[in-house]
Amino acid sequence: FVLSNNTALNSLLSKLLQDYVQQTNSSAPSQVKSASSNLEIIYVLLMVGLFGFFTVGVMLTNIRARRLEESRDPYNTYIATDIWHKKDREYFQAKLIENYKLCCVFENQLAVEQPNMQIPEAKSS
């Protein structure tokens, strides 16, 4: 009884294995291809969507920044006036005058050319 049960089980398992192999050989490539092509389409759409999202975000940020630059905000109007340039020019002139007053020239009497003395020349050998 054990032998017949074991043989019946082996034949059943081999039959199931053959059926499974035949089924996978005939239908697996089409199912795998369709599933993989669906995933590829989803991946491409996801990448295009992310690129579009970041592009729109950068555009909106740029538009918002330009709109804020053109507004009548007191900070922007203060910067836009010529006060900064005038203050910088005044500061530069004050520093220049201060440095000019601090500047002094020392004259080396020995280094000044004296017309009655002759400068020694190196003799060529």
**Which of 44 and 3 is assigned the larger pLDDT?**
44
- Whole-model pTM? 0.31
Query: Own/partner pairs for 44-53, CB < 8 Å, 24+ apart?
Result: none
Contacting residues for 57 by C-beta, under 8 A, at least 6 apart: none
What digits encode the pLDDT tens for the residues 47-89?
A: 999 999 999 999 999 888 877 666 666 666 666 566 667 788 8
pLDDT at position 50 is 95
Q: What average pLDDT does the segment 14-29 reach? A: 75
Contacting residues for 51 by C-beta, under 8 A, at least 6 apart: none
Domain boundaries, the chain: 37-71, 75-107
Task: Categorize the per-residue pLDDT at 1 as very low, low, confident or very high, splitting at 50, 70 and 90.
Answer: very low
How far apart are alpha carbons 63 and 61 in whole angstroms?
A: 6
Q: What average pLDDT does the segment 16-31 reach? A: 71
What digits encode the pLDDT tens for the residues 84-112?
A: 677 888 888 899 888 888 877 777 777 66
Q: What average pLDDT does the segment 22-33 reach? A: 63
Backbone angles phi and psi of 46, in degrees to 5? -65, -45
DSSP string, 38-82: HHHHHHHHHHHHHHHHHHHHHHHHHHHHHHHHTS--HHHHHHHST
